[in-house]
Structure 1
Amino acid sequence: MRRIAFFAALALTCAPALAARLTVDQIMADPDWIGPAVESPHWSADGQFIYYRLKRKGSDIRDLYRVDPSSGKSVKLDGAQQADADGDPVFNRQHTRAAFLRHGDVFVRDLSTHKLTQITRTAQPESGVQWSADGDTVQYRAGNDWSTYDLRTGTTASVAVLKTADDPQDAKPDQMERLQLSLFSTLRQMKAEKDAEQARDRELDRTDGTRAAQPFWLGTGVKIADTELSPDGRWMIVVTQPAGYDGGKSPVVNHYVTDSGYIHPEKARTYVGRNDPAPQSLVLLDLSAHKQYALSLDALPGIHDDPLAALRAKRQAELRKQGHDAEAKALDAPKTRGVRIADYGPATLAWSDDGQAAAVMFRAIDNKDRWIASVDFAKHALTPQHRLHDDAWINWNYNGFGFVPHSHTLWYESEQTGYAQLYVKALNGRAKQLTSGHFEVRTPQPSPDGQWFYVLANKQAPYAYDVYRVPTDGGTLQRVTAYEGMYDVETPVPFRLSPDGTRLAVLHSSAYVPDQLAVIDVDGHGGRELTDTRTAKYKAMHWIEPQIVQVPSSHGDFAVYAKLYKAADFDASKPHPAVLFVHGAGYLQDVTKGWSYYFREQMFHNLLAQEGYVVLDMDYRGSEGYGRDWRTAIYRHMGHPELEDLLDGKAWLVKHYHVDPQRVGVYGGSYGGFMTEMALLRAPGQFAAGAALRPPADWTSYNHEYTSNILNDPQLDPEAYKISSPIEYAQNLQDPLLICHGLIDNNVMPTDSIRLYQRLIELHKHNFWISLYPMERHGFVHADSWRDEYTRIHDLFTRFVLNKKDAATAAH
C-alpha cells in the first residue's frame, strides 16, 4: 500500500498570543457558544449516506442530520424525513436486508427494493436486534423476553416463556394428597386427565411448530439478569443470579431545591464491600427439545483458587487475635469463586452468525481473572478458550470479543503481554496474536467479509490515536488515518465501517476542535471532511496550543507524559507561578492530541497562562494508554505513585521554566480532587493551595465496581483503604484548601467532602473552605455552577499562588 495521505484536522488558529483577555464568565458559559460535537454517526443501510446527531442550541435535545459523503452536503431531518431514515443497521448474512431500531421500535429495510417495514409499535422499547441464520427472520427483545418476526409469513412469535418458579409438573404429592387420591376415584380421574393433557402438550410442542412455546421453569430463588438468543433460533442462554440478593444498605443524596419545596431523598449506589455483587450463573435452553441445562463453571481454570489467600489469612489472623471470630469467619473464601457475566461492561456473550457457536466472558467478582469459554451444545458444557489473570486487577477496558464473520473463530482483546492487543483463536486451535508492541489497541471491528480488523491504536505515540487495520489471518498493522486526534472518552468507538466495507466514517478532533465527521477509504485514501460545527465566535478565538512533554521520573526509568501551557511571550528570565491540573477518573488519558473531556479546564489554563502561570497536566501513573504496569502501579496504595509523579512535575517546572517552588497550586475533579487532597495532606508545604472538586475523601464509601479492583474489599484489606484515603491524613493540612461538591452527586457522595470538612473543624485547621452546589451531580450541567466554581478556584490561586507574598503579609 502506498504511503497514507495525511488529512489534517480542521484549521485551528493558534496565534502567538490570545487576541483578547479571557474571563471566567466567558469560558464557563454554556458551551453552546463553542458549537456542538458530532455524535453517534452511522451509515444508511445502502451505504449512500451517513447519519449523525447534533445537540440543539439551548437544549439537551439531539437533532438528526444526514450527509452525503460524496458531496459533503448535510441536511437536518424533519419529522417526515426521520420517518424514512435508517437507524444503525444490522445486516442479515446474505446482505439482502437490514434491521434497525428507531424510537424503540424495530424496522426492516429491503436492500433490493428499499422498502421499509415497521415490525413493532409498542410502548416498551425493543433492543438486541439480530437476524436468524437463514436471513428471513428478525429477532429482538423487550427486556429479557425475545420475539421473532418472520418476513415470509408476517408472523410474530414469542421465543420462550421464562418462569422463575418451580415446574408444577415436578411437584410430588405429599402424604395428605396421596391419602386423598387413594380415597376418591373422582380425584384420581381428574389427575389422570390433567396428566394426559400435559403429555399431549409436550408432544405437540415437539411436533407442531405453530404452537406458542410452553414455559421454561427456572426454579424459585433466581432472578434473570440477561438472556441471549442464538441466530438459528435453537438455543437460548439465560444468566441468573440469586433472587432477593442483599446488595447492602444504600446511602441517600438529598435534593434540597425541589419543585415541591420539600427535601427529596434519593437512594444511591451501595458502598464497596457492603455487599459484593450477586454471583451469576448460566442456564442453557434447548428451544427445540424444550430442555434446560445448568452450565457448570468447574471447567474454568482457577475457578476454585483463592488469589487473595495470603491477604485473607493475614486479615483473619488479625481479627481472631482481636477477638472478632465471627468477622474472621465471614471472610472465608467460597469453594467456587463468584463470577459476573452481565452488567459489568461490554457485551459478555457472542454468537457466530450461523448460531452454531457461542462464547461467554466471565469476570471474577474478586477482579483477578477474566475467562472466555465456548459452549459445547452436544455436551451442554463450557469449554475454556482463554484465561487472563492479573495479580492486581483485570482492566475495565479492552474486554471486547466476538466471532469473525462467517466463521467459528474467536477474536478478543487481552493485556496478557502488558499492553492491550488483538488475538484470534479457532475454537479447537491455538491463539494467534495479530498485533504487538508497546501501544494499546482498542475497539476492534471486523470487516463485513471477515478479511480485516480495524482498530484504534496509539502506535505512533501514546498521545496520538488513529485507525489501523490488520488482516484477520495475520500480517502488518497498516495505518489508515493520520489525524492523531481520535481519542475521546465520551466517544468510545470513533469510526464506523460502511456496509460494503470500503469506507470509514470517522470522528476526529484536535485540542480546540470538538469531534467532527469525515469519510475515508479503508486503504487510507480519498479523505473528505464533512462537518465543521464550531460557531463563528469560537473559531475567531486564538488559543495556546498545548505542548506535549515528557517529565523524567525520579522513581524509575520512565517519563510521565504531560501537556504544558505557557504564554507565547513567556519570559524565562523571571520567576513564574504554576498550577498542576490533575485529570479525573484515575484510569483516563488526558494527554492526547484530540479534544479533551476537560475542554473548559483547558480554556481556564489559557486564562492562567495569560496571567503568567505555567500549567502542567500530567498522565500520572494509573492513567490509560500506557500499558498494564502503568495502570496497576497504584494497586493497594492509591495516591502514592501519582503524588510522586506530581512532585516530579513540579520539580521539572522549577528546573526548566523558572517556576517559583513556593507558588505552585494544584487542582482537579473527582480522582483529580482526590489527588489534590492527597497532595496537600501527604506533602504539606509543597503546594501553595489546592482546589479539590467532587473528591473521594474516603474510599470505603465509594462503589464496588471501581474501588474493589484497586483496593480489594475494605473488610479484607483495610490497610489499603487507610493509606489511600485523604481523610486519614487530615491532621497534616497546613496549606489553603477549597473543596467544591454537588449536593446531589450520586457517584462520589457529598458526605465524603462534608465528613472531611468536619474532621478539619475538629482538628482546628485554618484556611479551608467548602462550596456546595444544591442542583449539581458529579458532572456539573449548569453554567451558573461552573462559573461560580471556577471563580472561586481563580480567586484561590490569585490570592495564595499568584500573589502569595501579599497574602502572607496580609495574614500577619
Structure 2
Amino acid sequence: MRQLLFAGLAALAALPAAAMSPAAPGGQLDLETIMANPDWIGAAVESPYWSVDGHSLYYSLKRDGSKVRDLYRVDPATGQSVKLDPAAMAQAEGPAVFDRSHRHAAYIFHGDVFMQDLATGRRVQVTQTPESESSPRFSSDGRSLQFRMGINWFVYNLASGATAPAATLRFADDPQAKKHNDLERDQLALFKSLRENKADKDAQRTRDDELIAADAGRAPKPIYLGESGEPADTELSPDGRWMLVVTKPKGSKGGKRPEITHYVTESGYAEQQETRSYVGRDDPAPQSLVLVDLKAATFYPLKTDGLPGIKDDPLKDIRAKTIAALQKDGKDDEAKALKAPDLRAVRIVSNADDGGGGGIAWSDDGQNVAIQLRAIDNKDRWIASVDFDKHALVPQHRLTDHAWINWNFNDFGWLKDGRTLWYLSEETGYSQLYTKSLAGKAKALTSGKFEVSHPVLSEDGQWFYVRTNQVAPYSYDVYRVPAAGGELARVTQYQGMDDFALSPDGRKLAVLHSSPYVLAQLAVQDAAGGTPRELTNTMKPEFTAHQWLQPQIVPVASSHGAGTIWAKYYGPSDAGTTASRPAVIFVHGAGYLQNVTLSYSNYFREQMFHNLLVQQGYVVLDIDYRASEGYGRDWRTAIYRQMGHPELEDLLDGKAWLVKNRGVDPRRVGIYGGSYGGFMTLMALLRAPGEFAAGSALRPVTDWTSYNHEYTSNILNDPQLDPEAYAASSPIMYADKLQDPLLMQHGLIDDNVVASDTVRMYQRFIELHKNNFWMSLYPMERHGFVHPDSWHDEYRRIDELFNTYVKPVKQ
C-alpha cells in the first residue's frame, strides 16, 4: 500500500504546476482561497421550526471554526434575531406537536420530552434521562402523552404525572402457558410438595392479574410473543389499545465486513475499523408484522400472502438464465440457492425523520392504521390497512416497477377524518399526490410531468403544501392544493426553495431558500402567498464581494431519444469568444441527485473551481445525466442493469453540444467527478477512449460487487443472481481500454466507497502495463473530505492534470 501511495504521488508531482493569482474581491481567484475552510463564505440557515405559540422561529447556524451549531430565535414580524446563550437555551422549545383540542403542545428538546399548556404557558419536563426520547404524540382522548425511547413506548398521564411503559413485550414463550409433558405430570402426581409449590405460584399469578385489572396505576403485565423472532420496531396506537410490532428472524447475521486502516492516529498505531458489507453478502433480514391487543394481552401475526403480486417472481427471466448457466457449469448448489421463494420477503418502509416508525401511520383517533411494506427485491411497494376484527392486512395500494421502487416519494398518512389515506406515488412516471378512502378508489390531487414531494397537511386538514418543480425541472417552489381536490397553486416565487414549515395556526409559512451563490436563508410569508419578509443574511462580505460567474442552465438534446438533458454551463455565451477553447465536463455524485437547480449546490467548491477554470481559459459543463433526480421515473431507471451506459451517452451529447454551440475543440475536453461522478469518469475514459483528453476520478466505485447492498441491489439486483449486470456496469471490467491520462484520488478512511476500489483498479492497470495513470491517497479523509489541506491538494492535482493534458493545443 505504501509503495503504491508514494508511486502515485511522485508520478503526479512531476506534472508542471499551474499558475495561480492572489485572490482579491471581484478579481482573480486562486485555489488557496476557494478550497479554504468554507467559513469564509458564511453559514447556511439550518432546521427552522416555529415556537409553540407561533410568534417566533428557531433556527441553527454553524459556529465559525467549529462544528458546533448555535440556536437562534427570530421574530418574524420584525426580523430581529438573537443567538441563545446556554441560559436562554434552557427555556427554548423544540418542534411541537399538538393535541386534537389544541390545549397542549409537546416537543423534544436536548433529547427529553416537554409538555406545555397553551392557555397558561406552563411547561412541564416529562423526562430527564441520558437516553434520547422521540416521537411525542398525544393520545386520541388527550389525557396522556405518548413517546418512545428506542423502540419502546411510554405513556405520561397528564392528570397524575405518572409515566409508565405502554407495554412490556417478551420475545419468549409464556412460562405459565406451558403444557406439562408426561414426566412433569408424573412428578406432580408423586410429590405433594411440588403440587403445593405450583398451587402457590398459580394463586399469586391470579392475584397479580386481579390487581392489575383493578388498578390502572400498576405496570402492565408482560405479553409473550414467542421465541421465533426479535423486535425491529414498534408503533403504539393513539388510543393505547393496539401495538404493531415489526419483527425479524432471531439471531440474523450479516455478511463479512471489510476493514479500513487509520494510519494517522493519536495513539501512533495503525487502527482498524469495520465498514459496511458488500452487496449480496448481507441481504436485509426479512420482516414480519404482529398485531398486539394490549387490552386483551393477546397477539396476532399479520400475514402478507394477500398482498397483490407477493407470490410473483419479477426476476423470473434473469433467474432462469443464471440458474441454467450455473447448472451448465456443474454448480448445482449455487443454482439451488437462487430458487425463487414461494412468498417474497418484505421489509417495512421507513420515512420518519426522527428514527421512529415511519412505515406505520395511525389515524389521529387510533381507529385505523396504514402500513407501508416493500419487497426486498425492490420491485414492489404496498400500502395496507388493518382489519382489527379479522386481524388481517387489507391491501390499499400497490406500486410496482420492473426496475426498482424509488428511495424517495414514499410519504403517506391520513386525512383528518381518519378514514382517508393520502400518499405519494410514481405510478404515472412522476411523483404525484393521491387520496383514497378505505373502501373507495384513488383520487389524484396533482398530475403532470413534474415531481411532488415534502407533502404537509395543514392543521385544519384543508390544504396540502408541497414542493414541486412544475415550472421547470430545475426550479422548485412551494405549492398548495385543497385536500378535497382542486387547483395546484403556487405559493412562493423563489425558484430555489429548499424547505418550508407551516406555522401552528396554518397562516404563515417559513421558507428556506437559496441561489447558486447564496446559502440557505430564512424568510416568512402568508401561507396563501404574497410578499415574503427576509429574516436572515448569513453570507460573508468577502464572498459576496466577488463577481461570481452565474451558471447558465442550458438544454442539451439527447441523440438517443431521451429528450432534454439539462446542464449548467460556465463560460461566455458567444461561440465566437469560446472558439477553440478547452472544456471540462463535471459529473456530479450520488447517481440519483439533482445538481442542475437554481439553489445553492452541495458542490459549492466545485462551482468556485469552475469559476477558476473559466478564468484560466476553459469553459465548463455540469450535466444532470440519466439517473439524476427531478426528471421522473423513466430518467431514473434508464440505468437499470446497465450503470454507466446511458449516462455516458448523455455526457458525450454534452461534449457534442459544447463543440457545436460554444466552438470547443473536441480534442481538448477533460472530465472529472467524485463518487458516482468518479465512477462515470472511469466509464467515460474506459468505454469511450479518445473522447476525453484526461480525467480525474475522485473516490470512485470501480467494481459494483464491492459496494453496499441498499444502493446497488436496487439497480443491478444481487450479483449472484445477475452477474451480467455487474460485469456490464463495473469499470474494472474495461481496464484494458485505458489510453487517456487518468488521475484517481481517494480518502484512505472512506467507509462508503472503500479505498480498495481505487487500489484494485490501480493494480489492474499495473498488470495491464498501462501508462499515464496516477493515484493520490488521503490518510485523514473519508468519503466527503473535511480538511482544507486535502481539498486544496486534491484540486491542485486536478488543475495540474487539466493544464498539462487538456489545455495545450495538440499538434
TM range (shorter): over 0.9
- Give, in whole Å, the separation in 2 of the partners of 1:434 and 1:569: 44
Which residue is equivalent to 1:700? Answer: 705
- Give, in whole Å, the separation in 1 of the partners of 2:246 and 2:398: 20
Letter in 2 for 1:310: D
Of 66-75 and 156-165, the range deviating more from structure 2? 156-165
For the 8 Å contact 1:206–1:288, the answer to whether it is kept is no
Which of 315, 319, 323 is equivalent to 2:326?
319
Which residue is equivalent to 2:646? Answer: 641
List aligned pairs for 1:300-311, cutoff 5 A: 300-311=307-318
For the 8 Å contact 1:93–1:133, the answer to whether it is kept is yes
Which residue is equivalent to 1:521? Answer: 526
Which residue is equivalent to 2:497? Answer: 486
- Give, in whole Å, the separation in 2 of the partners of 1:724 and 1:440: 28
- Give, in whole Å, the separation in 1 of the partners of 2:68 and 2:198: 60
For the 8 Å contact 1:226–1:342, the answer to whether it is kept is no
Which residue is equivalent to 2:84? Answer: 77
For the 8 Å contact 2:449–2:632, the answer to whether it is kept is yes
Provide, for residues 508-544 of structure 1, a one-character-per-residue CA deviation record: whole Å limited to 9, x for no partner.
0001001000001011114100001001111111101
**Pairing 1:466–2:473 present:** no
For the 8 Å contact 2:578–2:662, the answer to whether it is kept is no
Which residue is equivalent to 1:554? Answer: 559
For the 8 Å contact 2:590–2:676, the answer to whether it is kept is yes
**Pairing 1:91–2:102 present:** no
For the 8 Å contact 2:172–2:225, the answer to whether it is kept is yes
For the 8 Å contact 2:167–2:220, the answer to whether it is kept is yes
Letter in 2 for 1:618: I
- Give, in whole Å, the separation in 1 of the partners of 2:31 and 2:171: 57
Which residue is equivalent to 1:348? Answer: 359
**Pairing 1:621–2:626 present:** yes
Which residue is equivalent to 1:379? Answer: 390
- Give, in whole Å, the separation in 1 of the partners of 2:572 and 2:610: 10
For the 8 Å contact 2:673–2:680, the answer to whether it is kept is yes
Aligned identity (percent) is: 63
Which residue is equivalent to 1:66? Answer: 73
Which of 420, 438, 443 is equivalent to 2:449?
438
For the 8 Å contact 2:579–2:662, the answer to whether it is kept is no
Which of 331, 340, 363 is equivalent to 2:374?
363
Which residue is equivalent to 2:747? Answer: 742
For the 8 Å contact 2:368–2:418, the answer to whether it is kept is no
Partner secondary structure for residue 245 of structure 1: coil
The offset of 1:147, in angstroms, is: 0.9
For the 8 Å contact 1:567–1:612, the answer to whether it is kept is no
Which residue is equivalent to 1:142? Answer: 149
TM-score (structure 1 length as normaliser):
0.95
The offset of 1:739, in angstroms, is: 0.6
Which of 251, 256, 260 is equivalent to 1:253?
260
Which of 457, 475, 496 is equivalent to 2:486?
475
Which residue is equivalent to 1:587? Answer: 592
Partner secondary structure for residue 313 of structure 2: coil
Partner secondary structure for residue 806 of structure 2: helix
Partner secondary structure for residue 375 of structure 1: strand
Which residue is equivalent to 2:510? Answer: 505
Provide, for residues 600-623 of structure 1, a one-character-per-residue CA deviation record: whole Å limited to 9, x for no partner.
100100000111111000110111
- Give, in whole Å, the separation in 1 of the partners of 2:352 and 2:669: 39
For the 8 Å contact 1:544–1:567, the answer to whether it is kept is no
The offset of 1:407, in angstroms, is: 2.7
Which residue is equivalent to 2:782? Answer: 777
Of 363-372 and 202-211, the range deviating more from structure 2? 202-211
For the 8 Å contact 1:544–1:568, the answer to whether it is kept is no
Total equivalences in the alignment: 784
Partner secondary structure for residue 666 of structure 2: strand
Provide, for residues 441-491 of structure 1, a one-character-per-residue CA deviation record: whole Å limited to 9, x for no partner.
00100000000000000000000000000000100000000000024xxxx
- Give, in whole Å, the separation in 2 of the partners of 1:196 and 1:100: 44
- Give, in whole Å, the separation in 2 of the partners of 1:74 and 1:18: 28
Partner secondary structure for residue 762 of structure 2: helix
Letter in 2 for 1:515: A
- Give, in whole Å, the separation in 2 of the partners of 1:655 and 1:233: 67
Which residue is equivalent to 1:295? Answer: 302
- Give, in whole Å, the separation in 1 of the partners of 2:530 and 2:774: 56
Which residue is equivalent to 1:453? Answer: 464
Which of 118, 135, 139 is equivalent to 1:132?
139
Which residue is equivalent to 2:718? Answer: 713
For the 8 Å contact 2:574–2:662, the answer to whether it is kept is no
The offset of 1:343, in angstroms, is: 5.4
Which residue is equivalent to 1:160? Answer: 167
Provide, for residues 360-416 of structure 1, a one-character-per-residue CA deviation record: whole Å limited to 9, x for no partner.
100100000000001111211111110000000000000000112343211100000
The offset of 1:803, in angstroms, is: 2.1
Q: 1:567 to 1:21 in 2, by over 3 A?
A: farther
Which residue is equivalent to 1:264? Answer: 271
Which residue is equivalent to 1:539? Answer: 544
Which residue is equivalent to 2:616? Answer: 611
- Give, in whole Å, the separation in 2 of the partners of 1:656 and 1:778: 36
Which residues of structure 1 form unaligned runs of 5+? 1-16, 488-493
Of 473-482 and 192-201, the range deviating more from structure 2? 192-201
- Once superposed, which parts of structure 1, at least 4 consecutive aligned residues long, lie more than 4 Å away? 342-346, 567-571
Letter in 2 for 1:244: G
Which of 592, 598, 607 is equivalent to 1:602?
607
- Give, in whole Å, the separation in 2 of the partners of 1:105 and 1:635: 44
Aligned-CA RMSD value: 1.4
Q: 1:570 to 1:603 in 2, by over 3 A?
A: farther
Which residue is equivalent to 1:765? Answer: 770
For the 8 Å contact 1:239–1:342, the answer to whether it is kept is no
- Give, in whole Å, the separation in 1 of the partners of 2:65 and 2:587: 30
Which of 267, 277, 290 is equivalent to 1:283?
290
- Give, in whole Å, the separation in 2 of the partners of 1:778 and 1:573: 35
The offset of 1:256, in angstroms, is: 1.1
Which residue is equivalent to 2:428? Answer: 417
- Give, in whole Å, the separation in 2 of the partners of 1:444 and 1:744: 38
- Give, in whole Å, the separation in 1 of the partners of 2:605 and 2:616: 17
Provide, for residues 220-273 of structure 1, a one-character-per-residue CA deviation record: whole Å limited to 9, x for no partner.
242211111111111111111012112211111111111111111111111111
Partner secondary structure for residue 695 of structure 2: strand
The offset of 1:84, in angstroms, is: 1.2
**Pairing 1:401–2:425 present:** no
- Give, in whole Å, the separation in 1 of the partners of 2:650 and 2:578: 26
- Give, in whole Å, the separation in 1 of the partners of 2:734 and 2:783: 24
Q: 1:483 to 1:344 in 2, by over 3 A?
A: closer
For the 8 Å contact 2:25–2:543, the answer to whether it is kept is no
**Pairing 1:654–2:659 present:** yes
Which of 560, 568, 571 is equivalent to 1:563?
568
Which residue is equivalent to 1:793? Answer: 798
Partner secondary structure for residue 577 of structure 2: coil
- Give, in whole Å, the separation in 2 of the partners of 1:389 and 1:73: 50
- Give, in whole Å, the separation in 1 of the partners of 2:469 and 2:798: 34
Which residues of structure 2 form unaligned runs of 5+? 1-23
For the 8 Å contact 1:53–1:64, the answer to whether it is kept is yes
- Give, in whole Å, the separation in 2 of the partners of 1:426 and 1:558: 37
For the 8 Å contact 1:520–1:527, the answer to whether it is kept is yes
**Pairing 1:224–2:231 present:** yes
Of 193-202 and 619-628, the range deviating more from structure 2? 193-202
Letter in 2 for 1:29: A
Provide, for residues 604-661 of structure 1, a one-character-per-residue CA deviation record: whole Å limited to 9, x for no partner.
0000011111100011011110000000000000000000000011011011111011
For the 8 Å contact 1:663–1:802, the answer to whether it is kept is yes
Partner secondary structure for residue 449 of structure 1: coil
The offset of 1:568, in angstroms, is: 7.2
For the 8 Å contact 2:349–2:374, the answer to whether it is kept is no
- Give, in whole Å, the separation in 2 of the partners of 1:781 and 1:213: 50
For the 8 Å contact 2:583–2:670, the answer to whether it is kept is yes
